[in-house]
């Protein structure tokens, strides 16, 4: 029975991957790339290369939806052909009937996690680099201009209350991979603006963990906002965080980073004290973990819905799959909005659609068994 059910689940699953991946590429990348190709005159070989590199991202999204389509269509077909009635009459419970779909969904969950962790970020990054190079917009692997770092911290007010304010602002006009040029540093670490540093160049000293600044001026400001001291220097060392250099060397966006890289980026953002960026990145990391488990949720829901005694055509099963997919991503958007407004913790925001789906699947399973 297990071999039979598994053999019936695999073909519609593969069909779903091809279908949903093709739709995703067509909507998400094809039209934009074709428009760019026509405007710039890109060769068709390069267009195909970029499209192929964009495909893994949509395949990762297609794995859960394909599991839903496969289980729903397969078990609905079993129900329509009275095969479920035959199994039940032999004493096989509903729990045992849906078990092969759950186990197969668990395997696909592991595959999706590995695929989304090791293949998708690298492919997305390579697609961006390939397209930029073709458009003569090849950029260095680091941020080469306008590096801005804002460090926040809590200060105590005269009334004893604590408030989060900007403590330090670091700005560099250019970065060549070794030195930053055109530096301006505003220091408010003493509850007020007490120092302004400008320098022609600066670089990080990894041995002493300090910034070495060259050819600049330090303006020390007194409490009445007047210049207290003006010091010109040719070479000066300052105890500042390494974070601006980390930000300059990190140019990948969220879709081009795996979980390990995202956690490293989280530590960088956490050093800056920008709670909103930290919160958003924490939600995105949890979403990377939660997405593969949607395969397991959809496997449970699809196999349970297919076990209903009503006869369901393939067109109806496909329509139910589309509705449930939209429902899943609707709750994803709701959880994202609740998380970004700090209404719920990041882990709840990311796992909300899975929790709703799990609750629905368990409810439907108990209802079918009765």
For every residue of 225-250, DSSP letters joined together read SSEEEEEEEEEEEE---SHHHHHHH-
Does 308 lie in the same domain as 211? Answer: no
Phi-psi region at 364: left, alpha or beta (left = phi > 0; alpha = psi -120 to 50): alpha
Does 242 lie in the same domain as 201? Answer: yes
Distance separating alpha carbons of residues 367 and 370, to the nearest angstrom: 5
Residues comprising the chain, all counted:
370
Of all residues in the chain, the percent with pLDDT exceeding 70 is 89
**How much is the pLDDT for 77?**
86
**pLDDT tens-digit map of 40-89:** 777 888 888 888 898 999 999 999 999 998 998 898 888 888 888 888 88
Domain count, the chain: 2
Which segments of 30-158 does DSSP mark as H helices, in order? Answer: 31-40, 44-80, 83-89, 94-114, 120-134
**pLDDT tens-digit map of 94-113:** 889 999 999 999 999 999 99
| Strand partners for 174 | 145, 181
In a domain, 270, yes or no: no
Average pLDDT over residues 322-350: 89
In a domain, 324, yes or no: yes
Does 152 lie in the same domain as 124? Answer: no
Q: Which domain holds residue 335?
A: 2-137+277-369
Last residue of one domain, picked from the residues 211, 231, 248 = 248
Distance separating alpha carbons of residues 297 and 156, to the nearest angstrom: 48
Distance separating alpha carbons of residues 159 and 15, to the nearest angstrom: 66
pLDDT band at 225; cut points 50, 70, 90 = low
> Is the pTM value of this prediction over 0.85?
no
Last residue of one domain, picked from the residues 228, 248, 268 = 248
Kindly report which listed range (208-222, 251-265, 273-287, 303-317) carries the lowest average pLDDT score: 303-317
Kindly report which listed range (130-134, 187-191, 337-341) carries the lowest average pLDDT score: 187-191
In a domain, 108, yes or no: yes
Residue with the bigger pLDDT between 279 and 165: it is 279
In a domain, 359, yes or no: yes
Does 317 lie in the same domain as 284? Answer: yes
Does 188 lie in the same domain as 63? Answer: no
Based on its alpha-carbon atoms, the radius of gyration of the chain, rounded to whole angstroms, reads: 28
**What is each CA distance from 43 to 39, 125, 131, in whole angstroms?**
12, 20, 11
Does 118 lie in the same domain as 16? Answer: yes
In a domain, 159, yes or no: yes
Does 11 lie in the same domain as 109? Answer: yes
Does 331 lie in the same domain as 210? Answer: no
| pLDDT of 312 over the 60 cut | no
Does 154 lie in the same domain as 231? Answer: yes
**How much is the pLDDT for 101?**
93
Kindly report which listed range (107-116, 286-295, 301-310) carries the lowest average pLDDT score: 301-310
């Amino acid at each position: 029975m297990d071999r039979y059910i598994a053999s019936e689940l695999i073909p519609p699953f593969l069909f779903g991957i091809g279908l949903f991946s093709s739709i995703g590429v067509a909507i998400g990348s094809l039209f934009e790339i074709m428009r760019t190709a026509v405007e710039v005159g890109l060769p068709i070989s390069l267009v195909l290369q970029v499209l192929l590199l964009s495909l893994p991202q949509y395949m990762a999204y297609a794995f859960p939806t394909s599991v839903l389509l496969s289980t729903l269509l397969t078990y609905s077909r079993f129900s329509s052909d009275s095969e479920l009635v035959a199994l039940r009459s032999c004493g096989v419970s509903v729990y045992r009937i849906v078990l092969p779909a759950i186990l197969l969904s668990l395997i696909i969950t592991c595959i999706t996690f590995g695929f989304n962790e090791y293949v998708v970020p690298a492919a997305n990054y390579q697609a961006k680099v390939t397209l930029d190079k073709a458009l003569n917009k090849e950029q260095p692997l680091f941020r080469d201009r306008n590096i801005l770092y804002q460090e926040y911290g809590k200060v105590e007010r005269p009334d004893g209350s604590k408030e989060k304010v900007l403590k330090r602002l670091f700005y560099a006009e250019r970065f060549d991979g070794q030195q930053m040029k055109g530096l301006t540093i505003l220091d408010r670490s003493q509850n007020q603006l007490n120092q302004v540093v400008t320098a022609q160049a600066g670089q990080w000293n990894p041995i002493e963990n300090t910034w070495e600044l060259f050819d600049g001026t330090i303006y020390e400001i007194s409490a009445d906002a007047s210049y207290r001291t003006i010091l010109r220097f040719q070479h000066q060392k300052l105890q500042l965080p390494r974070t601006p250099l980390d930000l300059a060397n990190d140019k990948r966006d969220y879709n081009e980073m795996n979980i390990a890289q995202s956690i490293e980026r989280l530590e960088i953002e956490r050093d800056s004290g920008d709670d909103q960026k930290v919160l958003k990145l924490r939600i995105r990391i949890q979403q990377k973990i939660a997405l593969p488990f949607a395969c397991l949720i959809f496997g449970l829901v699809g196999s349970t819905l297919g076990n209903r005694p009503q006869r369901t055509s393939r067109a109806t099963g496909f329509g139910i799959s589309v509705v449930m997919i939209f429902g899943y991503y609707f709750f994803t958007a709701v959880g994202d909005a609740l998380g970004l407004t700090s209404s719920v913790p990041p882990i709840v925001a990311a796992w909300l659609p899975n929790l709703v789906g799990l609750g629905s699947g368990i409810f439907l399973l108990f209802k079918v068994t009765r």
